[in-house]
Structure 1
């Protein structure tokens, strides 16, 4: 389905498709959670206000629900690693970054399942703090790999854009039709914009993972800053999922 057809789709039909996907619901929960954190940390409401206590309870409940939604999600990283390994004519750097990105994220999602079982009370919680530390480290490493991969993708897209622009310039000089190339330029520029947004999202999520590693110690890891980072990440990922479905 092309972009024009997607834009003409009925909103409720589009919303139904979006909510039928696990990531769609997960990102809406993420927005709810970090919007609650933002309200609490920004002191919009007094600390002793009854709604503040309710928001804290709601935020904690949504956080646990999101862990349940990730059940089995590490499989997508296993498959992504398999797909990357099958790609031909790629540099060694690509394979290394893919291993770091998908491997780190896969370990994170796998460990998060155990953390969820611990927090939900099914297994003993005595190792919960150690598991959360492993989860945070693997998530952080995964984001480093993901950002590096996307930077490499941006370089490739930039080269492609330059080639297309050169082709258009030559076609204009020769008074030839270059509408197809112009459409390709629009597509490449859209991909570059989405890739940049995705890098920004990874930076925001990486900041939160680093805060978990450092147990929130440091001025940059204040609850307000982290809630803003989480909300930014949630909005970007929601936008990406919305236009892709």
Structure 2
């Protein structure tokens, strides 16, 4: 398969580094200052612990195994606390969107509306987990939360698939411009830089789709109360860890 990467006409562009580039500790500080940054680190801890527990690496009779199980449960409750008020972010995103078609409108409502409802319900799930409200409501709240989350991921995957198609179309047009410029003996350094940005954008979009599939699998399992082949503990824990690593990577690049 022919590579879509084009060399820059001016090699000095590759060697130039911004004087404002942050070192690792400054970058880490910015990352940890974000709510999502801490949340995703907790997610990694939780699902890494789950994998150790469900893979029987540690015998259940060991005190360490019991402590790890308690740690995993506590981290799960802590993550719910981090989501207080997060539904407002999705409501604002939905309110500020400009829709090109009715299809995009419907998919956006499913994606952002479903996720907003999920985060809103999760606040009450957390309150039930910490016994501030009667725990008898927990089961029904978790069911509603799982359905809302699954609908949100369905809409999100559909939207991102549309975006990926647009990126591919834009990449084809840009590739044509570069080829024409090369035939004419003209420079195309700006187009080459833009092509690299498109390639990175396409990669991140694909990673986001993979993440949504992984999280959607866990939501689907919650909808089915952990029944079925797709609800195997090791599979779900692996999906959760994969999602955590992808989201951590995205948040790291964005801060």
- TM-score > 0.5 by shorter chain: yes
**Mapped partners of 1:162, 1:175: distance in 2:** 20
Asked if the contact 2:164/2:202 (under 8 Å) is kept, the reply is yes
- The corresponding residue for 1:191 is 201
- Is 1:56–2:56 an aligned residue pair? no
- The corresponding residue for 1:36 is 49
Q: Which moved more, 1:10-19 or 1:43-52?
A: 43-52
Asked if the contact 2:217/2:230 (under 8 Å) is kept, the reply is no
Higher helix share: 1
The size of the alignment, in residue pairs, is 240
**Mapped partners of 1:95, 1:6: distance in 2:** 42
**Mapped partners of 2:243, 2:235: distance in 1:** 12
- Cα deviation, 1:174-198, whole Å, max 9, x if unaligned, reads 0001000000000001000000000
- Is 1:77–2:87 an aligned residue pair? no
Q: Calculate the TM-score normalised by the size of structure 1.
A: 0.95
C-alpha displacement of 1:8: 3.9
The DSSP-based 3-state class of the residue aligned with 2:88 is helix
**Mapped partners of 2:47, 2:121: distance in 1:** 22
- The corresponding residue for 1:19 is 32
- The corresponding residue for 2:105 is 95
- Cα deviation, 1:219-238, whole Å, max 9, x if unaligned, reads 22111111000000000000
Gaps of 5+ in 1: none
**Mapped partners of 1:118, 1:152: distance in 2:** 38
Q: Calculate the TM-score normalised by the size of structure 2.
A: 0.92
**Mapped partners of 1:225, 1:149: distance in 2:** 26
**Mapped partners of 2:130, 2:43: distance in 1:** 19
Moved over 6 A (4+): none
1:214 to 216, 220, 224: 224
CA RMSD of aligned residues (A): 1.4
- Cα deviation, 1:69-100, whole Å, max 9, x if unaligned, reads 0000000110011012xx15x01111110000
The DSSP-based 3-state class of the residue aligned with 2:226 is coil
- Change in Cα spacing, 1:4 to 1:152, as seen in structure 2 (3 Å) is farther
